[in-house]
Amino acid sequence: MRKVIPGTGRRWSCILLAGPGAVLVTVVVMAGMALWLPGGRAGIDNLVLPLVAAPLIWATLFFHACLDRSVGRIALVALFLLVSHGGLLAHKFLDRTAAAKVAGK
């Protein structure tokens, strides 16, 4: 019979949320930020700021996953960011009227 060490499931959940989970959420948030940030004078601030802020976003998610005691709260914050920015990206890329404007039709 296999012994189960208490807290092992929580530990692996935190590892997954702090490692690949934080990287995945950071990439999606970085891509979604370009849609809601203003363009600025040169029109590229919405592209540069997410690239500069990506390490900060990743570090925040990583340390939150490492330091928070509630795995549910960690997952809820990561899921909220993933769904909200993923929804922005999906709306942008599935918008047929914007695609028709670009195609000139």
In a domain, 52, yes or no: yes
Could you tell me the residue range of the domain that residue 74 belongs to? Answer: 13-103
The answer to whether residue 95 scores a pLDDT higher than 70 is yes
Contacts with 21 (C-beta within 8 Å, 6 or more apart), sequence order: 61, 65, 78
Work out the end-to-end distance of the chain between its first and last CA atoms, rounded to an integer number of angstroms.
Answer: 68
In a domain, 4, yes or no: no
- Structural domains in the chain (count): 1
The answer to whether residue 104 scores a pLDDT higher than 70 is no
pLDDT tier, 24 (very low <50, low <70, confident <90, very high otherwise): very high
In a domain, 6, yes or no: no
Contacts with 95 (C-beta within 8 Å, 6 or more apart), sequence order: none
In a domain, 59, yes or no: yes
pLDDT at 73: 94
Contact (Cβ atoms closer than 8 angstroms) between residue 77 and residue 18: no
In a domain, 87, yes or no: yes
In a domain, 67, yes or no: yes
Q: What average pLDDT score do residues 9-29 get?
A: 91
The answer to whether residue 2 scores a pLDDT higher than 70 is no
Q: CA Rg, the chain, in Å?
A: 18
